[in-house]
């Protein structure tokens, strides 16, 4: 049974396809055994934010007012809540331009990164970061094989 997914686009210039984003989560969930058992069951929230809004969350919850790419909040699986993934479309846009990467690919990677955090991956220590990067690569490979990287557009 597919999970309940709440997708919120709070970025005024970002265009998303909620069905395509839902497909990303479904594919990851279908392959959860490959990722430490996957994101816990329950409702998953996904928020697309501006740098300013994500920096405010970063400050409010982590006492760090700087911009970041992804913040993941663990949920309460016992109450049917897997967690929330908040991503910055602005940071994805800046990073993709600076590093000559596809914007849609970068923003999808941020979704994957948050899902992997909820699955139990960490990236604060070098060894754990290597495991996270390897899991990200496996997840992106699955999404590419399924032709399921959403087409995101960031309007000027």
Q: Is 117 annotated as a binding residue?
A: yes
pLDDT tens-digit readout, 99-126: 999 999 999 999 999 999 999 999 999 9
Note the Cα 131 to chain centre separation in Å. 17
Is residue 155 classed exposed, middle or buried when 0-12, 13-18 and 19+ CB atoms within 10 A define those classes? exposed
In CATH terms, the fold of domain 5-146 is Collagenase (Catalytic Domain) (3.40.390)
Q: Is 113 annotated as a binding residue?
A: yes
Cα–Cα distance between 89 and 14 in angstroms, integer? 7
Residue 42's pLDDT is what? 96
Cα–Cα distance between 134 and 98 in angstroms, integer? 23
**Count of CB atoms within 10 A of residue 98's CB?**
8
Q: Is 8 annotated as a binding residue?
A: no
Residue 156's pLDDT is what? 81
On the question of pLDDT at 28 being above 90, the answer is yes
Cα–Cα distance between 40 and 115 in angstroms, integer? 9
pLDDT tens-digit readout, 37-62: 999 999 999 999 999 999 999 999 99
CA dist 84 to 94, 100, 130, 153, 156, Å?
23, 29, 23, 22, 27
On the question of pLDDT at 1 being above 70, the answer is no
Q: Which sequence spans correspond to the domains of the chain?
A: 5-146
| pTM for the model | 0.97
Residue 123's pLDDT is what? 95
């Amino acid at each position: 049974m597919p999970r309940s997914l709440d997708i919120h686009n709070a970025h005024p210039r970002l265009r998303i396809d909620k069905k395509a984003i839902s497909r990303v989560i479904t594919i990851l969930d279908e392959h959860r055994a490959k990722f430490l058992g996957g994101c816990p069951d329950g409702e998953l929230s996904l928020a697309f934010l501006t740098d300013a809004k994500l920096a405010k969350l970063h400050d409010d919850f982590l006492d760090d007012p700087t911009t970041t790419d992804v913040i993941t909040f663990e949920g309460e699986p016992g109450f049917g809540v897997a967690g929330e993934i908040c991503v910055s479309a602005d940071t994805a846009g800046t990073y993709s331009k600076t590093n000559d990467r596809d914007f849609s690919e970068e923003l999808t990677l941020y979704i994957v990164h948050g899902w992997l955090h909820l699955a139990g991956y960490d990236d604060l220590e070098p060894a754990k970061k290597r495991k996270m990067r390897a899991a990200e690569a496996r997840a992106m490979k699955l999404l590419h094989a399924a032709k399921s990287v959403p087409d995101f557009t960031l309007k000027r």
